[in-house]
Amino acid sequence: MNTLPVQIAFYSLAALTLISAAYVVRARSIIHAGFWLLPCFVGVAGLFATLQAHFFFVAQLLIYAGAILVLILFALMLTRDAMSLHVPLKSHLGIWAGLISAGLGISASLVLARQSWSVTTAHPAGPARQAEALGEALIGLYAVPFEVASLLLLSALIGAVVLAKVERAPAPEPPPLADTLPEPEETRKEPVGVE
């Protein structure tokens, strides 16, 4: 396995992910910000591919780049100021947000650097076996957490329906259509002298 091309791919995909993530934050229009998520998700999928996690690569494309991004864009398009290109980018909470992100970043880097990661040269299971092994793990060893997670998603689904369902007053009777109106008097004359 030659590592240089893989490393080049890894760093360029990481750069793609980070740069597009920065554009998501900096874009002047929220719709553009939504579309900048696409290279971000594709970059993450590519990172999975360079790590030979093929199933995650495809799942990331299918679920994030395909479904979730579309839902996000739908929600954005239905918001009030979606058309405006001048959403203010300044926020009075900027300092706090910066502090919290910096704290998180520093602590995460410290943990990453201090931890002694177990490094192995053994390859993961063969690519064709991976999806199979994952499936077996999900219905075998991790069956209970898997089912609990799906139960959580189901309750979220039902909750969303309940929240969105508004009891409306019954719609008013629609005005009668033109051809159901009683005809005006003068047009209802009997034809005279036609015999």
Partner 1 sequence: MSMQRLHPRSASQAREILIGVVIAALILAALSATPLLPWHLLDPIRAYFYERPLLNNLAKAVLLVSFMAVQCLFLIWMERKFAGWLQARLGPMHVGWKGVLQTFADAIKLLLKEDIIPALADKPMFRLAPYLVFVPAMLTLMVLPFSPNLVGFDYHLGALFALSISTTGALGILAAGWGANNKYSVLGGMRAVAQLLSYEIPMILIVLCVVTLKNTMSLTQIVERQAGLWNIVAHPLLMIPGALIFFSCALAEVYRAPFDLPEAESELVSGFHTEYSGMRFAIFYIAEFANNVFTAGFAAILFFGGWHGPVLPPIAWFTLKTLLLIFLMMWVRWTLPRLRIDQMMSFCWKLLVPASLILFCLTALSVVW
Q: Is residue 133 a contact residue for partner 1 (CB under 8 A)?
A: no
Kindly tell me which residue out of 13, 20, 24, 35 binds partner 1, with binding defined by CB under 8 A: 35
Q: Is residue 72 a contact residue for partner 1 (CB under 8 A)?
A: no
Q: Is residue 16 a contact residue for partner 1 (CB under 8 A)?
A: no
Cα–Cα distances in angstroms (integers) from residue 36 to residues 16, 41, 98, in the given order: 11, 9, 22
Measured distance CA(153)–CA(147) in Å, rounded: 10
Q: Is residue 61 a contact residue for partner 1 (CB under 8 A)?
A: yes
Q: Binding segment for partner 1 among 11-19, 69-77, 151-159, 161-169 (CB under 8 A)?
A: 69-77
Kindly tell me which residue out of 32, 52, 134, 146 binds partner 1, with binding defined by CB under 8 A: 32
Q: What backbone torsions phi and psi does residue 62 show, to the nearest 5 degrees? A: -70, -45
Q: Is residue 62 a contact residue for partner 1 (CB under 8 A)?
A: yes
The nearest distance, CB 170 to partner 1, in angstroms, is: 19
Q: Is residue 23 a contact residue for partner 1 (CB under 8 A)?
A: no
Pick 62 or 151: Cβ nearer partner 1: 62
The nearest distance, CB 74 to partner 1, in angstroms, is: 7
Q: Is residue 151 a contact residue for partner 1 (CB under 8 A)?
A: no
Kindly tell me which residue out of 29, 52, 134, 146 binds partner 1, with binding defined by CB under 8 A: 29
Binding residues for partner 1, per CB under 8 A? 29, 31-32, 35, 38, 54-55, 58-59, 61-62, 65-67, 69-70, 73-74, 77, 127-128, 131
